[in-house]
Amino acid sequence: MAFQKVGKVDDVPEGQSKVFEVGDRAIAVCNFEGKLYGIEDVCTHDGSSFDASGALIGCEIECPRHGARFDVTNGQPTELPAVIPIDTFEVRVEGDDIEVNV
């Protein structure tokens, strides 16, 4: 694993998320209470994207297809129909750059 620059801090305002392509993976960077979290942009219920360009619901991101929710801080499902966690990725800020460890 290695950290890769994906964007700028201003790209992901508090309470929002943004998807970045990192190699062959789509990673949603989520800003919850000023801290950045990285999650794979794939719902484990049906394999669809979270369409992570909108607001978070607290620390949760919701799949627009069937309403499954996941805690962005640890990837755990918090609302059915999902029962399998999503992959999470360490995120760091270097200056004003967002870097994700993939």
Domain CATH for 15: 2.102.10.10
Three-class SS of residue 5? strand
Per-residue pLDDT of the chain (102 residues; tens, 9 = 90+): 699 999 999 999 999 999 999 988 999 999 999 999 999 999 998 887 887 655 799 999 999 888 899 999 999 999 999 999 999 999 999 999 999 998
Determine the structural domain holding residue 92 and report its residue range.
3-101
Based on the structure, what is the number of domains in the chain? 1
Quickly list DSSP for 25-75.
EEEEEEEETTEEEEEES--TTTS----TTSB-BTTEEE-TTT--EEETTT-
Q: Which amino acid is at 28?
A: A
12-38 pLDDT tens trace: 999 999 999 998 899 999 999 999 999
